[in-house]
Structures are given as structure tokens and as C-alpha cells.
Structure 1
Amino acid sequence: MNFFGNRAASGNGNAKQPAIRKVTTQVAVKPGRAVGASSTAPASPAPASLPARSRNTERFKLSGSRKQKQTSTLRHKALDSSSRGVKRKSATPDVQFSDEEQDDSSDIGTSDSDASRKRPKSSVSSVETLSASRRCIVPKAAFRNGAPLSFIHGAHLTSGEYRRKYVNPWEQPDFSTVELQYPSKRQRESFELKWPLNENDDYRPMEDIRDTIETIVKFYYPEDLVRKYTEIEHSYARRFARAFQLQSIQDWIKIVQDFNHELRRLINDGSIERELQAKRGLHLEWIQRILDQVFVRTVSPTAESLNKYKSGSDNVYGELLPPFVSEIFRKVGLTHDHVFVDLGSGVGNVVLQAALEIGCESWGIEMMHNPCELADAQAAEFASRTQLWGLDVGEVNFLRGDMTKHSAVPGLLQRADVVLVNNQAFTPELNDKLKNMFLDLKEGARIVSLKPFVPIGHKMAVRNVEDVANQFVQKQDEYFSNSVSWSHYGNNHWYIATKDTRPLRAFRKKAGLG
């Protein structure tokens, strides 16, 4: 046999051609197979002498005992489900939509008037979760006749030392005073119907009345009355707009009186309290209305004092706005069972929002004198005004002093579930001190900051195994220009660092470091 094929050359250089030998052999055909049939042809039927296999119809049925047992079990489940009113699951599961998808789809094919009549959803931050029980937002004292509350009336901001900043509306010879009912059995708030000379900066009492009434109707009234008072012909907004158009102060007063009468009726028959008990949390629009009232009565009159700080130091005042703060609460999963701490709390806006929106125990610490004074004023007004609005809130606490030296801070950090540090303008030295203080945090606690405490791109190695950053897992997110009240420094990111020592322990064990 030629193993080299055509590559074996003869002496004259020509390749030898392989020799092919053909042999014909006769083979006897087996019975039942046609001569010349292809091997791929289908097999012929079995001969009649071979009986076909009979089909066992009982093959896949349960035996007697198993069948009786399973039938009994199914019958028991069916009876148990029917007795409890449990609906049987369908073969195809229902499609679940996120809140964002529901919000987007709900506006399709509806008019603006239809959308305005819809009651906004509650904030998801306060909704019952698997890790926390449902928060109750109704205080018992709000719907009982109690001692008068001490709070700053709207009339106070347009009288006395502030009187020169205001004029009577529509050139009236004198101004009028009205009292506004809130959704509780507390006393009413007094307002002077005046206009500010500087509409951009000063308090506007008539707008405060209008916005407060619209908020109460939207979030406290029963659903049928919400529809009634947001329809064009019955809406308070339309009546206020008409009073402005007619320049009638008497029409304005009549609207407030009608609202007071209707709200008082709903308070007395228990409708307002029942509506609050059915709610799971507070909508952001509702939260902002209350916080704005507190802020404008305490901080706004002396806001210029907040600009008295040394530029380039750690004592730079900056403010996180309510929508951004609400997003932070949602991302970190803050609930009313948690403890919230704001290191460098300024005038206390975020501390108050956590107590109002989430209902948690809320702490703040600040060292600058002017912000501390305003934070205390806000806390006092907040305590009374939330009772006016018929709401139960979390405990509010403010500390004064250096956060790195205050004796109460280490123990507070040991209890904290979420720590907020607005460290956008902090020096590197202060950030390093804070990072070491975070060793006191419990496992799973979260730090929210505007500058990262875990360096971007940080990797665990033997040379840096003792670095505090190895005990935290960090995520980065983005915020936008309308989230804060100061000019940006070029990096619009915020960070959530969660204390998790498991990766560090695993690394030390693998590296043989004990």
C-alpha cells in the first residue's frame, strides 16, 4: 500500500498513480428487506407473526393509595382556600410596574384637569417594608382640645418691625386680618392680608394662605371632596384667582371663611382623622409646604446672618434641598425605626425633614453660632406646627459643638443607621478625622456624603490592609444643579458608603493575616 500518495516520486520525477482493484461479492438478502433498499429508507412494518405492543392506558396513573392521598390533599386545599376567600393564581402572572412606570402611564390620554384631581402618592420612604412596621402619622393629641400651641403666626411677619416692608392690597385704605383653620383641633393662625414691597425676597401671606388651603384639600379631604374642590367650578384656586381679578378683599375673606367651615365639619365628624390613619406616608409636596412654613417664620427674617463665615474653612454654609434629601432617604432605605444623624447640620433642615418624612429619631450637630440659633428656633416652630397639621413626627435633637470633639458623638454614631455628611467644602484633614470616627459605626450603617470617604478606584491590598476604607463598600450617584443651594465645584456626585467588614475579613484570612 502506498502511504505517501502522489508525494512518492519515481526516478524520472513523475508521480506514480495509485492502482485500484475492484472485487464483486454476492450477499444473500435477509427476509423482510427489499433488494436495493437504501439504508436510510424507513423500516417496513413488522410481520404479522409479531404482535404489536399493546398501549397501557394506566401507565401514567397514580396507584390507588397515592391517588386517594393526593386527591384528598387537593380537596383539602381547595376547601381551605375557598373558606378564606383566597384567589387561585393564574397560569400567567400579572405584569408588575414600578412607581415610575405607573406615574408615566397614568397621564396618558388624560387632560390636565383629570391629572390635577388625582391624589398624589405617598412618599415611598415611609411606606411599610419587610424590615420595618408601618408608621402611624396621627398623634392622639391633634384631635383633642388641648392647651394653645406656641407658634409664629403669619401676621407676625407683616407687623411690628416688618410693617414697613408691606402695603395694603389694591390700594385699600386699611388691611384686613383673617384666621385660617388647620386640620386639627388646635387654634387657628392669624394672617394680615398685605402685599410685600419686594415680592422676590419677602414673605407673601396671601400666597401662604392659598397654598396651605390647596395642600389641605389635596391630602386631608376624602376622595369625593377632593374631586369636588379641584373641579374648575368649585375649586378654591379658581375662586382666589377671581378675587384677584375683581380686586375684592371681601371675596378673599369669604373664601377663607367657607374653607374654615367645611374643614371644621370634617374634623368634628372624624373624616380628617380617618383619612390620616389610612395613609402610609407623606408626599413630597405636603412635606415641603410644612417645612417652608417653618423656614420662612424662623430662618428667612435673619437669613443674612448665615453668610458670616470664613471663606475656605470647614465652616461654609450650604443647603441640600428637599427633593434631593427625599431621594437620599429612599436610596439608603431609611425607616422610622432607624436613627438618623447629620454631621454639620447647619440650620437643621435635613434633620427636620427626616423627622417629618420618615418619622425616625433624628439628630444634628453644628458648631457655628448663628446656624445653631436658627436650628433651635426651627425645632421649636416645627414641634408646634406639625401638631397644627395633625401629624406625628420623629424625635428631633440638636447638639452644639465640634463634631470631632463632642462627648456625645461617639455614642451617637454607635446607634446610627444613616449618617449624612455634607462635606463638599470640608478640608482633607477634617474628612480624615471623620473617616476614623466611622470605625464606631455598627455593621450595615450607611454614610451619605458629597465627597467620597472611600477613594475612587480603591483596592484592598496587603500594604493598605489597615486603611479604614477597607471596611466600607461604596456606591456613587449623581445629583443636579437644583439639588443644592450653592454653586458647584465641578463634581456633581454623591456617595453611599455601607459598613461591611466581611470582604476585609475574607481578605485577611486568605492572605494569612489573621
Structure 2
Amino acid sequence: MPLLKAKSATQSVRVEKVVVKKAVKKVTAPTPRSSLAPNGSLRATSDASSSSPRLLSPNSRAVARTKSASPYPSSSDERAGRKRTLTQRRQNTPRDSPHFGPDDSDDDDDEDPFAKKRKVISTWRDPHRRLRHKKAFGDDIRSPNIIHGADLASVKTGCPPAFGAPEDEVAVQLQYPSRCRAERYELVFKKDRIDAVKDIKQVVKHVAETYLTEEQAQPFIDHNSSFYRDLEKAANEKRCDVPAFKAALNSYNTSLLSLVEDGSVAKNLDNMHGIPPSLVDFILTQVYERTVSPNVDSLNKYQPGGDNVYGELNAPFVREILQVHGGLTSEKVFIDLGSGVGNVVLQAALEIGCRSYGCEMVENSCNFAEAQEKEFNARCLLWGIGPGRVRLERGDFRTNKKILEVLKEADCILVNNKAFTPALNAALVSMFLDLKPGCKVVSLVSFILGNEKNAINDIANNIFEVVEDTYKEDWVSWSRAPGRYFVSTRK
């Protein structure tokens, strides 16, 4: 009998071990929520993450980008997505990472929306960030070398006047929050061209919400009586009043210039340490629409089966990488290996204020990137915002001296290696031997598991700790479906 008891006790221990393993699988595998929150709290559920795209999007398919498409959310998407994004930031963002989540609840429907915006700005967690552009508020009025809205959308470029206005009355100017000359627009409208009326209203709104105190912003954005309200009334489809629109715009220009001249705007910027994501997206959209959008179709001309297939990570995905995974601040270094037209590099420099590097070898993409960088620098001056230092390199990142040098300083690296060959991914692993401990490498394909029969890359396995995560729907340009990505931390 004692021997029988001993054997049964041994069997019960084995049974307990099996039960524990099954219990873990039951908790993680069927949970579809992992695909809704690509964050640290759900990283352990890699099985759920990998299966969630099939659960959420059984009919996933790539959607072609339109000619004027931008990787940044349009203004119509901002209001719908803002509350969801802020809620996720409160739950998911590390304490040492910059973000725009309010400290207290933002569910009070009776609270003034402008007051909410001010609260959001005040909780940016990078006290070392300095926003004011050093050259934007000097004694001299500057003429930034921008591509004006009227250069791309005007009567001369074949756009009919908005509101049915006479052609000789469509020219207007729009002042920005700096000592720079105004941007030229024409009140015209044509599909896939810059929408002057929409652009002007959005600039007025962003200036009031971000650059001004609540008291200063009242004449700009008050719901009952303000420049913004007058612009909306004048642009109403049932009442197309061109003189009223131009009068409201002139009043806005005069009032903003007064606040710039007396130092109020510069002082307000000095008290800020971050930019709302909605303004980041709007500025980058302005840059993209003036440089890439007019010829975006040419980006699809690549050689199938190679390493140079083009695809964009959209702004919300980039924001997740920079803030949540990278934990970047203005004092850190970001690198995008295979940076395409430079979207991610520019977003990091503007939103985070960090040193931001990119490297691309496709000539067409490099040309777009240079055009974007030039327009980006000019528009940052126009908006009075000092971005982080940007450097976009041409050539192969495996041999580019500057990139190899700065890799040793990097805090976060992005590699959109979705279409990279196994040989190129293996070469990247060898480059990563020089990374400093703690550096994050975010990739679309795992470096530990190769592309051929899931073979394990021993070098990557030795130097990295890898976590699998899930990006959300509409976070990449080549598909509307969610998908997997990987965060590798240098040991």
C-alpha cells in the first residue's frame, strides 16, 4: 500500500503540471483583444496576437492609395479617433515616455473643448523639449521658402473658384504664428488638389488651440462669435459669401500678427514642451501634399521580388513606435533603415524633437525625401516650431559611414523589413552587434526566426530579447488589415 500511495502521489504532481500549462493556453490563446491594443500589457499573449488578424479581418486585402493620399490622418478622422487614442495612452504609455494623455478623465461632455486641449498639452512628459524656433521670432520678417497652396491649387492650374467667386477675387493670404510672411492661397477647389478653405480653417483652429491661452483664443475660436465661426458661416454651402470669408480671414491675420509682435506667441511656446498629435499630423500632411502627393503614383514603380518594395507606416503606428516602444525624448536618437520618402524621420523630429536619421537607396524615394525635408524645415519655421535635427542619407545602409557611426548611439531603430530578403535581414543582424544595451529595434519581420523554414538566427537569438505585437487596422499603407510586428531589445 505505501508503494501504491507513493506512485499515485507522483502521478498527481505530473497531472498538476499539465493542468497549469492548459490553463495558461486557455487564458491567452482565444483572447481577441490583443489585436486591439498593441502595448506592453498584452505582449505576453503572442499566440493571441499572431492569430488576431484572422479573427478580426477574415477578408483582409490591400487597398491602393489614391493620388493625393497622405500617411497622416485627415482632419475628419481626428475627432473620432482622439478619445480612443488618449484612453490607450493612459493605459499603455510608460511613465518615462512622452505622451499627450490628460491626467484626469476627458469624458465630461460639458467641458469646453478648448480647455481639454490645453490640459492635453500641459501633460507632455519631456520637460527638456524646447519648442520655439530660434529664427521664427527675430526682428526681421522672414520669407520661408515654402510651396504655397496657390502654387498647386489655383485658377492657373485649372482649379475652378470656390463659392462661384470671380477669378480676380480668389487670392488670399494666411498668417502663421511666427514672424514669417503669410502663405498664399486661392479660394478654389478641385478633387485631389489642396483644399484652400479647409486648410485655412484648420490653421486657424490649430493656432487657437495650441499657441494661445484660453483668453487670447476667445476671438479666434469661440463657438458663438469668432474668426473661425465667421469663416464657417461664410463657407456654408447655402450661403457662399466670399467677401465675408475674406473679411474674417483678414481679421484673423491682423489679430494673430498683433500677438506675434507683442511676444505673446513666443512666450506661450516657451511654456510648452510638446505638440498635440493633431497638429503634428496636420503639418506633416501639408508637407506631404505639396511634395509627394502630386506624383505619388511613381512610388509604386519598383522591381518585384527585391528589397526595395515601397510601403508606408501610417502616423498612428509611428506614434506607437516612437512613444510606447521607443520611449523616445528630445535627447535621444532615432534611425529609420530604409526610410523611403522620409515620413517617419520627419515625424520623429517634429513630434519628439529627437535627432532623427534615415537612409534610403532608391533614387526616386530619395528625391521625394529631399523635397520633403526642404519643405519640412521651411514649414517648421513658418509654424515657429523647432524640430529635432534631421539627416536623410542616400545609399545602402549596410555601407553608409554616417549610419554605421550613429547606430552606436541609437535608442530606437525602425526597420520596415516586410519585403526584405533573408540575406538582407541577416546582414542587419550583423550590423546590430554594435548597438548599445537597451536599444529597441522595431521590425515587421522577426530577426530571430528567419524567412526560410523558420530557422533560428543564432546571433539574433543571443543579442536580442524579442516581443511580438500587433498593429491595428489601417496602420500601414499596403493593407487595411491588422498584422504582426516585433520589438527586439538589445541585451
Quote the residue 2:165 is aligned against: 172
Quote the residue 1:106 is aligned against: 105
The structure 1 residue matched to 2:245, chosen from 252, 257, 262, is: 252
Q: 1:447 to 1:157 in 2, by over 3 A?
A: same
Q: Distance in 1 between matches of 2:343 and 2:242?
A: 35
Alignment of 1:99-138 (within 5 A): 100=90, 106-111=105-110, 114-115=112-113, 117-121=115-119, 127-128=125-126, 134-138=128-132
Which secondary structure does the structure 1 equivalent of 2:117 belong to?
coil
Q: Distance in 2 between matches of 1:465 and 1:434?
A: 12
Are residues 1:308 and 2:301 paired? Answer: yes
| CA deviation map 1:348-391 (0-9, x unaligned) | 01000111111111111111111100100011111111011111
Quote the residue 1:241 is aligned against: 232
| TM-score normalised by L of structure 1 | 0.70
| CA deviation map 1:142-184 (0-9, x unaligned) | 1113442211111101248x712x1012333314211111111
Q: 1:316 to 1:212 in 2, by over 3 A?
A: same
Quote the residue 1:440 is aligned against: 434
Alignment of 1:53-202 (within 5 A): 100=90, 106-111=105-110, 114-115=112-113, 117-121=115-119, 127-128=125-126, 134-146=128-140, 147-159=142-154, 163-164=157-158, 166-174=159-167, 175-196=169-190, 198=191, 201-202=192-193
Q: Distance in 1 between matches of 2:328 and 2:123?
A: 7
Quote the residue 2:470 is aligned against: 478
Are residues 1:371 and 2:370 paired? Answer: no
Q: Give the letter aligned to residue 100 of structure 1.
A: R
Sequence identity percentage: 38
Q: 1:211 to 1:438 in 2, by over 3 A?
A: same
Quote the residue 1:317 is aligned against: 310
Quote the residue 1:64 is aligned against: none
Aligned length: 387
Alignment of 1:285-434 (within 5 A): 285-331=278-324, 332-434=326-428
Q: Distance in 2 between matches of 1:301 and 1:214?
A: 26
Q: Which aligned segments of 4 or more residues in structure 1 are displaced greater than 4 angstroms?
A: 101-105, 120-126, 463-466
Q: Distance in 1 between matches of 2:105 and 2:123?
A: 21
- Counterpart contact for 2:280–2:351, Cα < 8 Å: yes
Which secondary structure does the structure 2 equivalent of 1:106 belong to?
coil
Quote the residue 1:88 is aligned against: none
Alignment of 1:221-232 (within 5 A): 221-227=212-218, 229-232=220-223
Q: Distance in 2 between matches of 1:437 and 1:350?
A: 21
Q: Give the letter aligned to residue 110 of structure 1.
A: D
- Counterpart contact for 2:204–2:228, Cα < 8 Å: no
| CA deviation map 1:318-353 (0-9, x unaligned) | 111112111111121111111111000000010001
Quote the residue 2:256 is aligned against: 263
Q: Distance in 2 between matches of 1:455 and 1:256?
A: 57
| TM-score normalised by L of structure 2 | 0.74
- Counterpart contact for 1:321–1:484, Cα < 8 Å: yes
User: Bigger shift: 211-220 or 141-150?
Assistant: 141-150
| CA deviation map 1:244-281 (0-9, x unaligned) | 23211111111110111111111122111111111121
Q: Distance in 2 between matches of 1:292 and 1:103?
A: 25
Bigger radius of gyration among the two:
1
- Counterpart contact for 1:477–1:494, Cα < 8 Å: yes
User: Higher relative CO (CA 8 A, sep ≥ 6), structure 1 or 2?
Assistant: 2
List gaps (5 residues or longer) in structure 1: 1-96, 457-462, 501-514
List gaps (5 residues or longer) in structure 2: 1-86, 92-100
Q: Distance in 2 between matches of 1:337 and 1:233?
A: 43
Quote the residue 1:282 is aligned against: 275
